[in-house]
Copies of this chain bind each other. A is one copy, B any other.
Amino acid sequence: MRTFIAVDLGGTNIRAAIVDEEGKILDVKKDVTEAHLGKEHVMEKMENLIASLKDYENALGIGLGIPGPTDTVNGKIIISNNLPDLVGYPIADRIREHFKKPTFMANDVKVAGLAEALLGEGRGKKNLYYLTISTGVAGAMILDGKVLSGFHGHGGEIGNMTIDPNREALGGLNRGAAESWVSGPALVREADKACEKEFKHAGEVFEAAKSDARAKAVVERFKDDLAVLLAGVCFVCDPERILIQGGVMKSSSDFLSDVEKRLHGLLFPGMREVTLASATIEEPGLVGAAMLAKSQL
Protein backbone atom coordinates (compact mmCIF):
# COMPACT_ATOMS: atom_id res chain seq x y z
CA MET A 1 0.00 0.00 0.00
CA ARG A 2 1.17 3.52 -0.78
CA THR A 3 2.42 5.54 2.19
CA PHE A 4 2.94 9.24 2.90
CA ILE A 5 4.91 11.23 5.45
CA ALA A 6 2.80 13.54 7.64
CA VAL A 7 4.13 16.39 9.77
CA ASP A 8 2.07 18.27 12.34
CA LEU A 9 4.08 21.37 13.27
CA GLY A 10 2.68 22.97 16.41
CA GLY A 11 3.86 25.75 18.69
CA THR A 12 4.63 23.20 21.45
CA ASN A 13 5.35 19.91 19.65
CA ILE A 14 6.33 18.64 16.24
CA ARG A 15 4.98 15.23 15.28
CA ALA A 16 5.88 13.21 12.21
CA ALA A 17 4.26 10.00 11.02
CA ILE A 18 4.09 7.43 8.25
CA VAL A 19 0.46 7.11 7.17
CA ASP A 20 -0.94 4.74 4.57
CA GLU A 21 -3.49 5.82 1.96
CA GLU A 22 -6.36 4.49 4.08
CA GLY A 23 -5.31 6.78 6.94
CA LYS A 24 -3.65 4.15 9.12
CA ILE A 25 -0.73 5.52 11.14
CA LEU A 26 2.16 3.05 10.80
CA ASP A 27 4.78 4.94 12.80
CA VAL A 28 4.80 8.23 14.69
CA LYS A 29 7.53 10.28 16.40
CA LYS A 30 7.28 13.42 18.49
CA ASP A 31 9.66 16.14 19.76
CA VAL A 32 9.28 19.55 21.41
CA THR A 33 9.31 22.44 18.94
CA GLU A 34 11.48 24.91 20.89
CA ALA A 35 10.60 27.66 18.45
CA HIS A 36 12.50 30.22 20.54
CA LEU A 37 15.76 28.58 19.36
CA GLY A 38 15.09 29.75 15.81
CA LYS A 39 14.05 28.42 12.44
CA GLU A 40 17.22 26.41 11.72
CA HIS A 41 16.70 24.52 14.97
CA VAL A 42 13.06 23.78 14.16
CA MET A 43 13.79 22.74 10.57
CA GLU A 44 16.55 20.35 11.68
CA LYS A 45 14.24 18.84 14.28
CA MET A 46 11.62 18.30 11.61
CA GLU A 47 14.14 16.68 9.26
CA ASN A 48 15.51 14.44 12.00
CA LEU A 49 12.02 13.37 13.06
CA ILE A 50 11.09 12.43 9.50
CA ALA A 51 14.37 10.54 9.01
CA SER A 52 13.72 8.55 12.20
CA LEU A 53 10.43 7.15 10.86
CA LYS A 54 10.34 3.50 9.81
CA ASP A 55 10.51 3.11 5.99
CA TYR A 56 10.31 6.87 5.40
CA GLU A 57 12.34 6.34 2.21
CA ASN A 58 9.40 4.50 0.61
CA ALA A 59 6.82 7.24 1.19
CA LEU A 60 5.53 8.88 -2.01
CA GLY A 61 5.27 12.42 -0.68
CA ILE A 62 5.22 14.67 2.36
CA GLY A 63 2.34 16.72 3.79
CA LEU A 64 2.85 19.47 6.36
CA GLY A 65 0.04 20.80 8.58
CA ILE A 66 0.82 24.25 10.00
CA PRO A 67 -1.17 26.46 12.41
CA GLY A 68 -2.51 29.79 11.12
CA PRO A 69 -2.75 31.25 7.62
CA THR A 70 -0.53 29.43 5.17
CA ASP A 71 0.67 30.25 1.66
CA THR A 72 -0.06 26.85 0.16
CA VAL A 73 1.39 27.75 -3.24
CA ASN A 74 4.81 28.74 -1.93
CA GLY A 75 4.75 26.58 1.21
CA LYS A 76 5.28 29.39 3.70
CA ILE A 77 3.71 30.52 6.97
CA ILE A 78 1.94 33.89 6.55
CA ILE A 79 1.33 34.86 10.20
CA SER A 80 2.15 33.03 13.42
CA ASN A 81 2.18 33.90 17.10
CA ASN A 82 3.92 30.67 18.09
CA LEU A 83 6.42 30.30 15.26
CA PRO A 84 7.38 33.90 14.42
CA ASP A 85 10.89 33.05 13.21
CA LEU A 86 9.44 30.71 10.54
CA VAL A 87 7.10 33.30 8.99
CA GLY A 88 7.96 33.64 5.31
CA TYR A 89 10.58 30.87 5.41
CA PRO A 90 10.28 28.39 2.47
CA ILE A 91 9.52 25.40 4.70
CA ALA A 92 8.04 23.19 1.99
CA ASP A 93 10.88 23.91 -0.47
CA ARG A 94 13.51 23.00 2.11
CA ILE A 95 11.81 19.73 3.07
CA ARG A 96 11.22 18.89 -0.61
CA GLU A 97 14.89 19.39 -1.46
CA HIS A 98 16.17 17.63 1.63
CA PHE A 99 14.16 14.45 1.08
CA LYS A 100 13.76 14.68 -2.71
CA LYS A 101 10.04 14.04 -2.39
CA PRO A 102 6.98 16.06 -3.47
CA THR A 103 6.06 18.21 -0.44
CA PHE A 104 2.84 20.13 0.24
CA MET A 105 1.82 22.41 3.08
CA ALA A 106 -1.52 23.72 4.35
CA ASN A 107 -3.17 25.10 7.46
CA ASP A 108 -3.77 22.48 10.16
CA VAL A 109 -7.56 22.96 10.25
CA LYS A 110 -7.66 22.49 6.48
CA VAL A 111 -5.65 19.26 6.53
CA ALA A 112 -7.83 17.95 9.38
CA GLY A 113 -10.86 18.74 7.23
CA LEU A 114 -9.34 16.87 4.36
CA ALA A 115 -8.86 13.78 6.56
CA GLU A 116 -12.49 13.88 7.66
CA ALA A 117 -13.70 14.57 4.13
CA LEU A 118 -11.80 11.72 2.53
CA LEU A 119 -11.81 9.05 5.24
CA GLY A 120 -14.39 10.05 7.86
CA GLU A 121 -17.95 11.34 7.75
CA GLY A 122 -17.36 12.94 4.37
CA ARG A 123 -16.24 9.80 2.60
CA GLY A 124 -17.79 9.51 -0.86
CA LYS A 125 -19.14 13.07 -0.81
CA LYS A 126 -17.74 15.73 -3.10
CA ASN A 127 -18.86 19.01 -1.59
CA LEU A 128 -18.11 19.44 2.11
CA TYR A 129 -17.51 22.06 4.72
CA TYR A 130 -15.40 21.29 7.78
CA LEU A 131 -15.60 23.34 10.93
CA THR A 132 -13.74 23.32 14.20
CA ILE A 133 -15.49 24.70 17.28
CA SER A 134 -13.02 24.69 20.11
CA THR A 135 -11.08 27.60 21.66
CA GLY A 136 -11.22 29.03 18.17
CA VAL A 137 -13.63 28.73 15.27
CA ALA A 138 -12.31 28.04 11.77
CA GLY A 139 -13.34 26.10 8.71
CA ALA A 140 -12.39 24.70 5.35
CA MET A 141 -14.17 24.06 2.09
CA ILE A 142 -13.37 20.67 0.57
CA LEU A 143 -14.41 20.24 -3.05
CA ASP A 144 -13.77 17.11 -5.08
CA GLY A 145 -11.30 15.88 -2.48
CA LYS A 146 -9.22 19.06 -2.45
CA VAL A 147 -9.13 21.67 0.26
CA LEU A 148 -9.53 25.32 -0.82
CA SER A 149 -7.51 27.96 0.99
CA GLY A 150 -8.32 31.10 -0.99
CA PHE A 151 -6.00 33.63 -2.57
CA HIS A 152 -4.20 34.72 0.61
CA GLY A 153 -4.52 31.40 2.49
CA HIS A 154 -7.25 32.87 4.72
CA GLY A 155 -10.22 31.04 3.17
CA GLY A 156 -12.12 29.41 6.03
CA GLU A 157 -11.23 31.98 8.71
CA ILE A 158 -14.92 32.17 9.53
CA GLY A 159 -14.27 32.79 13.22
CA ASN A 160 -14.15 36.48 12.29
CA MET A 161 -17.44 36.47 10.34
CA THR A 162 -20.01 38.86 11.77
CA ILE A 163 -23.05 37.07 13.15
CA ASP A 164 -24.46 40.16 14.88
CA PRO A 165 -22.95 43.61 14.27
CA ASN A 166 -24.61 44.99 17.40
CA ARG A 167 -22.48 42.94 19.79
CA GLU A 168 -19.08 43.88 21.18
CA ALA A 169 -15.72 43.42 19.49
CA LEU A 170 -13.68 40.99 21.60
CA GLY A 171 -10.08 39.77 21.44
CA GLY A 172 -9.13 41.76 18.34
CA LEU A 173 -11.95 40.26 16.26
CA ASN A 174 -14.82 42.08 14.56
CA ARG A 175 -17.94 43.22 16.38
CA GLY A 176 -20.16 40.18 16.92
CA ALA A 177 -17.59 37.82 15.36
CA ALA A 178 -18.56 34.14 15.32
CA GLU A 179 -15.59 33.02 17.41
CA SER A 180 -16.59 35.47 20.15
CA TRP A 181 -20.00 33.81 20.48
CA VAL A 182 -19.94 30.17 19.37
CA SER A 183 -16.56 28.96 20.73
CA GLY A 184 -16.05 26.98 23.95
CA PRO A 185 -14.63 29.97 25.88
CA ALA A 186 -17.51 32.14 24.66
CA LEU A 187 -20.07 29.72 26.06
CA VAL A 188 -18.26 29.62 29.40
CA ARG A 189 -17.90 33.43 29.52
CA GLU A 190 -21.58 34.02 28.80
CA ALA A 191 -22.75 31.31 31.22
CA ASP A 192 -20.47 32.65 33.98
CA LYS A 193 -22.08 36.05 33.54
CA ALA A 194 -25.66 34.76 33.32
CA CYS A 195 -25.42 32.32 36.23
CA GLU A 196 -22.96 34.27 38.40
CA LYS A 197 -20.68 31.28 38.90
CA GLU A 198 -17.57 29.82 37.26
CA PHE A 199 -17.99 27.04 34.72
CA LYS A 200 -14.92 24.92 33.91
CA HIS A 201 -15.78 24.16 30.27
CA ALA A 202 -18.57 24.20 27.72
CA GLY A 203 -19.71 20.71 28.73
CA GLU A 204 -20.70 22.03 32.16
CA VAL A 205 -22.72 24.80 30.55
CA PHE A 206 -24.72 22.32 28.44
CA GLU A 207 -25.27 20.22 31.58
CA ALA A 208 -26.44 23.23 33.62
CA ALA A 209 -28.84 24.24 30.81
CA LYS A 210 -30.93 21.14 31.59
CA SER A 211 -32.06 22.60 34.93
CA ASP A 212 -31.06 26.29 34.95
CA ALA A 213 -33.09 28.68 32.77
CA ARG A 214 -30.26 31.23 32.69
CA ALA A 215 -27.77 28.67 31.33
CA LYS A 216 -30.46 27.44 28.95
CA ALA A 217 -30.84 30.95 27.52
CA VAL A 218 -27.08 31.04 26.87
CA VAL A 219 -27.21 27.66 25.11
CA GLU A 220 -30.26 28.66 23.03
CA ARG A 221 -28.48 31.77 21.82
CA PHE A 222 -25.40 29.66 21.01
CA LYS A 223 -27.61 27.41 18.84
CA ASP A 224 -29.14 30.39 17.04
CA ASP A 225 -25.73 31.96 16.48
CA LEU A 226 -24.22 28.74 15.18
CA ALA A 227 -27.16 28.28 12.80
CA VAL A 228 -26.66 31.82 11.44
CA LEU A 229 -22.94 31.17 10.96
CA LEU A 230 -23.53 27.87 9.16
CA ALA A 231 -26.27 29.41 7.00
CA GLY A 232 -23.78 32.07 5.91
CA VAL A 233 -21.37 29.33 4.87
CA CYS A 234 -24.16 27.48 3.02
CA PHE A 235 -25.25 30.58 1.08
CA VAL A 236 -21.68 31.05 -0.13
CA CYS A 237 -20.74 27.47 -1.01
CA ASP A 238 -23.82 25.22 -0.53
CA PRO A 239 -22.20 22.03 0.79
CA GLU A 240 -23.78 18.59 0.95
CA ARG A 241 -22.61 18.01 4.50
CA ILE A 242 -20.95 20.02 7.26
CA LEU A 243 -18.45 18.11 9.40
CA ILE A 244 -17.82 19.55 12.87
CA GLN A 245 -14.87 18.86 15.10
CA GLY A 246 -13.59 20.36 18.36
CA GLY A 247 -13.98 20.33 22.12
CA VAL A 248 -17.54 21.66 22.08
CA MET A 249 -18.57 18.56 20.08
CA LYS A 250 -18.20 16.41 23.22
CA SER A 251 -21.67 17.81 23.99
CA SER A 252 -22.98 17.49 20.43
CA SER A 253 -25.99 15.44 21.59
CA ASP A 254 -27.11 18.54 23.51
CA PHE A 255 -27.23 20.88 20.51
CA LEU A 256 -26.42 19.44 17.10
CA SER A 257 -29.89 18.29 15.99
CA ASP A 258 -31.45 21.60 17.13
CA VAL A 259 -28.81 23.57 15.24
CA GLU A 260 -29.50 21.49 12.12
CA LYS A 261 -33.23 22.26 12.37
CA ARG A 262 -32.60 25.99 12.82
CA LEU A 263 -30.08 25.95 9.97
CA HIS A 264 -32.65 24.34 7.67
CA GLY A 265 -35.13 27.04 8.68
CA LEU A 266 -32.69 29.70 7.43
CA LEU A 267 -32.00 28.01 4.08
CA PHE A 268 -33.98 27.91 0.85
CA PRO A 269 -36.05 24.69 0.58
CA GLY A 270 -33.73 23.24 -2.08
CA MET A 271 -30.74 23.42 0.27
CA ARG A 272 -32.25 21.64 3.26
CA GLU A 273 -30.72 18.26 2.57
CA VAL A 274 -27.49 19.56 4.10
CA THR A 275 -26.61 17.55 7.22
CA LEU A 276 -24.41 18.24 10.22
CA ALA A 277 -22.11 15.47 11.40
CA SER A 278 -19.60 15.07 14.21
CA ALA A 279 -16.11 14.44 12.92
CA THR A 280 -14.88 10.93 13.76
CA ILE A 281 -11.24 10.68 12.65
CA GLU A 282 -8.72 10.32 15.46
CA GLU A 283 -5.50 12.22 14.82
CA PRO A 284 -6.99 14.32 11.99
CA GLY A 285 -3.88 16.55 11.94
CA LEU A 286 -1.49 13.72 11.02
CA VAL A 287 -3.90 11.77 8.82
CA GLY A 288 -4.88 14.99 7.06
CA ALA A 289 -1.29 16.03 6.37
CA ALA A 290 -0.79 12.63 4.67
CA MET A 291 -4.05 13.08 2.73
CA LEU A 292 -2.84 16.52 1.60
CA ALA A 293 0.13 14.84 -0.07
CA LYS A 294 -2.10 12.08 -1.46
CA SER A 295 -4.66 14.59 -2.83
CA GLN A 296 -1.95 16.46 -4.72
CA LEU A 297 -0.18 13.44 -6.22
On A, residues with C-beta under 8 Å from B are 69, 78-79, 126-127, 139, 141, 143, 148-166, 174, 224, 228, 231-240, 266-271, 273-274
Contacts and interface: CB of A to CB of B under 8 A. Distances in A.
B163 A166 contact: no
Contacts of A236: 139, 141, 155-156, 158, 161, 232-233, 236-237
B157 A237 contact: no
Contact of A238 (B154, B162, B232, B237): B154
18 contacts: A127-B151, A141-B236, A150-B238, A151-B238, A151-B239, A152-B273, A153-B270, A154-B267, A155-B236, A155-B238, A156-B238, A157-B235, A157-B271, A160-B268, A161-B235, A162-B228, A162-B231, A163-B165
Contact of A237 (B163, B237, B268, B274): B237
This protein's copies in its complex: 2
Contacts of A174: 231, 266
Contacts of A79: 268-270
* A-B interface, 3 closest residue pairs, ranked by CB to CB distance from nearest: A150-B238, A155-B238, A151-B240
Given A160-B268, A165-B228, 8 more contacts: A79-B270, A143-B148, A154-B267, A157-B268, A162-B231, A164-B164, A164-B166, A174-B266
A256 to B, nearest CB: 20
A174 to B, nearest CB: 5
A278 B228 CA distance: 29
Given A69-B268, A78-B270, A266-B174, A238 B153 contact: yes
Nearest to A125: B151
A148 to B, nearest CB: 7
Given A151-B274, A154-B235, A154-B271, A162 B165 contact: no
A80 to B, nearest CB: 11
Contact of A162 (B155, B160, B163, B271): B163
B270 A237 contact: no
A239 B126 CA distance: 21
Nearest to A178: B235
A271 B161 CA distance: 13
Nearest to A127: B151
A229 B78 CA distance: 25
Nearest to A160: B235
A139 to B, nearest CB: 8
Nearest to A228: B162
